[in-house]
Structure 1
Amino acid sequence: MSSPAAASHVIGLPMEDGAQVEAMFAADPKAHFELHWHAEWSVGAILEGRCEFTCAGERCIAEAGDMVLMAPFMLHTAGVSAQGFRMVMLYVPHAWVGARFGWPAGLRGELLKGVWQDAETADALAAAALSEDGVRVGRLLEQVLSAQTGRELVPVERRAGDERVEAICAALETEDACRIDPGALASRLGVSREHFHRLFRLAVGMAPAHYARLARIGRAKALLREGSAQADVAAQCGFTDQAHFSRWFRRCFGVTPGNYMAREPGCGSLPIE
């Protein structure tokens, strides 16, 4: 099995039309991911071991030979088997997928399956990613997404709710979750603190502090992708310091910010002892 030092890393693979897909190679039997979301489609191939996770509130299990598919902004967690584990997870820009299938802006095809057995496709996708063949990866991804998305169109992001709650959500994307004053937020809505929490959970599905952290960590990932320095990203996204930011980034995305920033072709191997 791979050593802990080489447990997880991310590379960028150029596809056709100038788009790029991110490939995460993971082989860490101790990996556990906090509740988070990705703005991209997540397409995974389980090569060895077992992955137990929740997605959109449902408990799921994926084992060797299984494919995993999650739509953008689907809340999920993950934990892997205690012994051997290997996985390739691809993060596919929604703009690229939407253009391929002709979906209107802000909409996507419904997700038909989240986990299914297809060892042949899992092996082919992993082999293409490991060989850094972005064009081949793109063609396989198009096949997977074509088979597992339906004609019914649904919003890419969650449906907008109470306008006052949406305004609070926008503010929380830049505020430090550790310094949130629930009473002040309730005052903005003109309701009691208890009613605010109920209203927010009903509209968003989680507590305000949790939403703030997830929104800011997602924004941080986008800034790192654009080339911003780690310290600047930590400050812009409201984390108390760079170490605090790094801990939460790894809990959600499986790699450190520095590892994520180094996602260049040429390091796509997934070592096995």
Structure 2
Amino acid sequence: MTHGAASRVISLPMEDGAQVEAMFAADPKAHFDLHWHAEWSVGAILEGRCEFTCAGERQGAEAGDMVVMAPGMLHTAGVSAQGFRMVMLYVQQAWVAEQLGWPEARRGVLHRTVRRDEAAAHALAAAARAEDGAALGRLLARVLRAQTGNELVAVERQMSDARVEAVCRALATEDACHIDPGVLALRLGVSREHFHRLFRVAVGMTPAHYARLARIGRAKVLLREGQAAAEVAAQCGFTDQAHFSRWFRRCFGVTPGNYMAVRGRVENAA
């Protein structure tokens, strides 16, 4: 869970009209639950040490390190005893693909999640603090070009079992927010227990956990589109707005209301 109110998010226009979101986190007790982003995540550790998991592997990043995660990579984030301060940028795959010359549904293979680059970390932090979206766009393109190779892979996660892949696709769609994974198991013609085992082996978590993360991810998209938090909570299967707000903050560091305020600020400035 993320404690305190030290995390904040801003959204900035880049030179070509695309948007980049920047999250500033400095909470000494910060911890983000397992989640993923539909966007590329590019961050700079400014102070202390951030300990996290990404794609099932334990990672550590210290001041002067850059952190890069591709869309859909499951991760957590936490802290060492000394805490940390960081800025994390979120940028759409479509923009990255255009900048780097990829097909929109493909991406370069990520070389590594953590890379030492003090100059880039300081430049990225300075541009984010100055709310200079144009400079952030140039830095993002440079960092992502350096961190990815010529080999291309699908942006969407590829499951080894087509049945599990079909379930993941269903859980990520707008009209599947209320689907019980047990009902999906029946649709695929397997028992609930067998489906549960298949899913856990392929995805690394239970169907119920994945469904909650899919709902949270869908909720972020709906908020970005301008829908009210209460409506989003109901559409995405949360018992009430408070329940939705708690889970959103645990994954993304801010409340849905704060996230919507960021979107409103951008629209008013346009």
TM score, norm. by length of structure 2: 0.90
Q: Deviations 1:85-138 (Å, cap 9, x if unpaired)? A: 211000011100000111113110000121111111111100001000100011
User: Does residue 81 of the first structure (1) align with residue 80 of the second (2)?
Assistant: yes
Q: Which whole-Å deviations, capped at 9, do the CAs of 1:158-189 have from their partners, x for residues lacking one?
A: 11554443443344343348xx363x433222
**Aligned counterpart, 2:238:** 239
Runs of 4+ in 1 over 6 A off after TM superposition: none
Q: Which has the higher contact order (CA 8 A, sep 6+)?
A: 1
The residue that corresponds to 2:15 in the other structure is: 16
> Matched residue of 1:30: which SS?
coil
**Which structure 1 segments of 5+ residues have no match?**
266-273
Aligned residues: 259
RMSD of aligned alpha carbons: 1.8
Partner of residue 175, structure 1:
177
Kept in 1: contact 2:54–2:76 (CA 8 A): yes
* Structure 2 counterpart of 1:196: 195
Stretches of structure 2 that go unaligned for 5 or more consecutive residues are none
- The one-character-per-residue Cα deviations of 1:32-52 (angstroms, maximum 9, x if unpaired) are 111100000000000011100
Alignment of 1:55-134 (within 5 A): 55-134=54-133
Partner of 2:29 in structure 1?
A: 30
Residues 107 and 181 (structure 1 numbering): CA distance in 2 closer, same or farther, change over 3 Å? closer
Q: Secondary structure at the match of 1:82?
A: strand
Paired letter, 1:53 = F
Distance verdict in 2 for CA 1:27–1:198, change over 3 Å = same
Equivalent residue number for residue 271 of structure 1: none
Please, what TM-score do these two structures have when normalized by structure 1?
A: 0.89
Contact 2:50 2:83 in 1 (8 A): no
Aligned partners of 1:11 and 1:262 also within 8 Å? no
Counterpart AA for 1:210: H
Percent identical among aligned pairs is 76
Q: Residue 44 of structure 1 aligns with which residue?
A: 43
Matched to 2:49, the amino acid is R
Deviation at 1:84, TM superposition (A): 4.4
